[in-house]
Chains A and B, each alone.
Chain A
Amino acid sequence: MMNDIGLFLQTAIIMGTPMLYATLGEILAERSGSLNLGVEGMMMTGALAGFLVGTTTNSPLLAVLCAGLVGAMGSMIFAVLTVSLKANQLVAGFVLTIFLSGLANLIGSGYGNSTLPKTFTSKISAIHIPGLSEIPLLGPAIFEQSILVYLGILTAVVLWLYMNKTRFGLSLRVVGENPSFADNAGIPVTLYKYVHIGAGGFLAGVGGSCLTLLIVPRWMESITAGMGWISIALVIFALWSPARAVFGAYFFGALRGLVFKLQSAPITISGKAFYIPAQILDLLPYLMTILVLVLITLGKRKENRPPLWLCRPYFREDR
């Protein structure tokens, strides 16, 4: 029983990791006032790019890096359209997802049967920390994970510091809340938007590559299966904070893990079998996100609300 729960927690954290990266990225974009609905597409191109580079170079570092770069390149389409050409963010994001997922599936169609080299998987699979990983319950979840999992947590910490403890982070907030004020204060609004949309794309790409390099681990058609959309939900669930994103992602990861578990067997509590339909669990993340959205608008704390200028184009000339 203890072992089971330990393994479950370990899986929850692994499953949450791609979403964690994508969520952290989308937090950056949204904090700059850009609701980029292209996450699903950027994750998918990242997944494919990471896989292709991984199989050819056998280097995890290069694979993850290229996945991020491809994601960032995709996000630049969104940035040019919405920041420079003032196009509607929702439309641009939707079309970006259609474009990138189409492109990834098109290019990837020939690689469904390829696998990563054994030496690659051994480089990226869970690090077994002797002693600590034997701790019951939490041991495997915390001390027996892939480097990608630890890197995800590290990214969250770095971003938290960046957003809350640096001048750049403060400026970023101002850009998302009130771009004309930021402009008057001499903050380069356009540059901030481009950089953070790009960083968002990079992290979405890295998140996607976790699927093909670590979790699945191979390329499959439409591999992200809605994870990008859940990540957008997670941004809200985490109230636009990198620290809370970690817990949110693992929590949603646990829900997803549960969905897979329930498809094979019911939960048994003291001998009684409980059938919870997997589809109902599947919709829980979205329902809970709506609840969180309502709760934060009920609450008085302003910093928990969506960035004021989210989804609105900024016309410098309208100041």
Chain B
Amino acid sequence: MISIQKRSAVSLRQKLPKQAVAILAALVVGALVILLFGHNPLAVYKEILSGALGSRYSRAQTIETLVPLLIMALGVTICYKIKFISIGTEGQLYIGAMFATYIALHLKGLPGPILLPLMLLASVLGGGLWCLLPAFLKVKFDTNETLVTLMLNYVAIKFITYLQYGPWKDPNVIGYPVIPQFTKNAILPDVLGIHAGWIIALALLVLTTVMLYRTKLGYKITVLGENPATARYAGFGTMKLTLLATFLGGGLCGIAGFIQASAIENSLTASISGNLGFTAIVVAWMGRLKPLPIAGFGLFVAVLIQGCAYLQISMGISHFMANVIQAIILFFILGSDFFINYRIAFRRAGEVTA
């Protein structure tokens, strides 16, 4: 008879060796797949590493991938803390970017130091409202937020496409419809060779950590998530708290949209997320909803994404191979969680365990 027991506390020392085994196993399976497609796995792995970390430029690229990933993972973490299982990161990113773009296009006369903070605030508002909508439906009608946020992603992306083909189309560009490029004052400047988004991400990492673990709001959020009845009994105003937390969570994802539009694309398109929103959800879960592990795991994933993107340039391997390798590694890490958190006990039938 096999029984599965939950481990009460898992220390880092118990965890790391198992995660290492998982990643190793993933690399072996990945190597087999790479071999099947006729490439040399060792060379591929070496290229991934050097593509992500090998030069100053590639390290900057990796950080630029990490920035939106980390910010959105922190955003969904706030939502998940109150058991609001949103998968609407993509949509919130796009609506945040849309609000920021509106400011960038309509107030382009303003100097950068005023315009950029305005764009940031607008993106918080956009992302926050886009997350508030399903939160409102949940507290008001008990509508399933996971399904609503999934749908809202597509609504947002299609709506951006609509803006691109219709009302926001740049009249000066003939041929393919595009939204106008931002003026220079609406583009985040570089700091130490990387766009200033990294400062925002770092600040948000600190702020979110402090908010969650050192403030009354963070305490209330934790209580509400872990024991809603207690939260209600303590008179937290659970409805208001839910709406506030989801607004903050969505707002963070909106900021990621502002950064992508301003610093990376210098405009708004329906592809600024590069599916990072979905990846951020994976990162948040893998980091167990704790800011520092999220940052660590986010960096790992950013290295993977950036290194794999480099494969196409350096070895001419299709970027789909990158997806496959990433997915295999994530599968194994996902599966290894079980062996970290549970103990499998073998016992003879009839034997009783405590």
Cα–Cα, bound, A296→B151 (Å) = 16
A317-B158 Cα distance, complex, nearest whole Å = 44
Choose the segment among B118-126, B195-203, B330-338 that binds chain A (4+ C-beta atoms closer than 8 Å): B330-338
The residue among A233, A290, A297, A298 with the most chain B CB atoms within 10 A of its own CB is: A290
Q: Are B162 and A92 in contact (CB under 8 A)?
A: no
Of B137, B143, B152, B286, most A-chain CB atoms within 10 Å: B143
A283 proximity list for chain B (CB < 8 A): 154-155, 158-159, 162
Expressed in whole angstroms, the Cα–Cα distance for A91 and B137 within the complex equals: 24
Contact residue among A105, A232, A279 (Cβ-Cβ distance under 8 Å from B161): A279
Task: Scan B17-44; emit 1 where CB is below 8 A from any A CB, else 0.
Answer: 0000000000000000000010000000
The reply to whether B148 and A290 form a contact with Cβ atoms under 8 Å apart is: yes
Give a binary string over A200-232; 1 marks a CB under 8 Å from any B CB, 0 the rest. 000000000000000000000000001001001
Contact across chains for B143 and A294 when beta carbons are under 8 A apart: yes
Give the chain B neighbours of A233 by CB distance below 8 A: 150-151, 154
Which residues of the other chain, A, contact B137 by a CB distance below 8 angstroms? 293-294, 297
Would you call A187 an interface residue if the criterion is a C-beta within 8 Å of the partner chain's C-beta atoms?
A: no
A183 beta carbon closer than 8 Å to chain B: no
Asked if A81 and B334 sit within 8 Å, CB to CB, the answer is yes
Contacts of A298 in B (CB 8 A): 141
> Is A95 part of the binding interface, using a Cβ–Cβ cutoff of 8 Å?
yes
Q: In angstroms, how far is the closest chain B Cβ from the Cβ of A319? A: 12
Contact A293 B148 (CB under 8 A): yes
* Contact residues, B128-172 vs A (CB, 8 A): 137, 141-144, 146-148, 150-152, 154-155, 158-159, 161-162, 165-166
Is the Cβ of A98 less than 8 Å from the Cβ of B323? yes
- Give the interface size class of chain A: 35 or more
Interface string of B75-117 (1 = CB under 8 A from A): 0000000000101000000000000000000000000000000
Contact between chains at B162 and A280 (CB < 8 Å): yes
Please give the distance in Å from B278's CB to the nearest CB on chain A: 5
Is B282 in contact with A91, judged by CB distance below 8 angstroms?
A: yes
A274-302 vs B, Cβ < 8 Å mask (1 yes, 0 no): 00010110110011011001100110000
- B55 at the A interface (CB under 8 A): no
Interface on chain A toward B: helix, strand, loop, or mixed SS?
Answer: helix
**Residues of A with C-beta under 8 A to B342:** 86
| B11 on interface, CB distance cutoff 8 Å | no
CB distance from A223 to the nearest CB of B (A): 13
Among A80, A103, A306: residue with most chain B CB under 10 A: A103
Q: What is the CA–CA distance of A277 and B152 in the complex, to the nearest angstrom?
A: 19
Q: Is the CB of B324 within 8 A of A297?
A: no
Taken together as a complex, chains A and B put the C-alpha atoms of A306 and B285 apart, in Å, by 23
- Bound Cα distance A64, B126 (Å): 45
Count of inter-chain pairs, beta carbons less than 8 A: 137
Interface pair B281/A91, CB less than 8 Å apart: yes
Contact A102 B3 (CB under 8 A): no
Contact in complex: A286, B154 (CB < 8 Å): yes
Q: Judge if B320 is at the interface, Cβ distance under 8 Å.
A: yes
- Nearest CB to that of A101 among chain B residues? B323
Q: B143 near A297 (CB under 8 angstroms)?
A: yes
Q: Are A90 and B147 in contact (CB under 8 A)?
A: no
B326 at the interface (CB under 8 A from A): yes
Quick one: which of B159, B318, B331, B342 has the most chain A CB within 10 A? B331
Knowing A91-B281, A94-B281 touch, does A286 contact B151 (C-beta < 8 A)?
yes
CB distance from B154 to the nearest CB of A (A): 4
| A85 proximal to B (CB < 8 A) | yes
Q: Mark B225-260, 1 if CB is under 8 A from A, else 0.
A: 000000000000000000000000000000000000
Is A94 in contact with B282, judged by CB distance below 8 angstroms? yes
In the assembled complex, the CB of A294 is this many whole angstroms from the nearest CB of chain B, namely: 5
Give, as a whole number of angstroms, the nearest-CB distance from A254 to chain B.
17
| Chain B min CB distance to A80 (Å) | 8
> How far is B89's CA from A90's CA once the two chains are assembled, in angstroms?
13
B166 CB contact (under 8 Å) in A98, A109, A277, A306: A277
Chain B, Cβ-Cβ closest to A84? B338
| Chain A residues within CB distance 8 Å of chain B | 35, 37, 77, 80-81, 84-88, 90-92, 94-96, 98-99, 101-103, 105-106, 109, 226, 229, 232-233, 236, 277, 279-280, 282-283, 286-287, 289-290, 293-294, 297-298, 306, 310-311, 315-317
User: Which residues of B come within 8 Å of A, CB atoms?
Assistant: 3-6, 37, 85, 87, 137, 141-144, 146-148, 150-152, 154-155, 158-159, 161-162, 165-166, 275, 278, 281-282, 285-286, 318, 320-324, 326-328, 330-331, 334-335, 337-338, 342
Query: What are the 10 tightest A-B residue pairs by CB atom distance, in nearest-first order?
Result: A102-B323, A99-B327, A283-B158, A279-B162, A85-B338, A106-B320, A105-B320, A102-B324, A286-B151, A102-B320
Could you pull out 26 A-B pairs where Cβ atoms are within 8 angstroms?
Answer: A35-B146, A37-B150, A88-B334, A90-B281, A91-B330, A91-B334, A94-B282, A95-B327, A98-B330, A99-B328, A99-B331, A102-B323, A105-B318, A233-B150, A236-B147, A279-B158, A279-B166, A280-B162, A286-B158, A287-B151, A290-B155, A293-B147, A293-B151, A294-B143, A306-B147, A317-B6
Kindly list 13 other residue pairs between chains A and B, CB separation below 8 angstroms, not including A91-B281, A287-B151, A294-B137: A87-B335, A90-B87, A90-B285, A91-B285, A94-B278, A101-B323, A102-B320, A277-B162, A283-B159, A286-B152, A286-B154, A297-B137, A317-B5
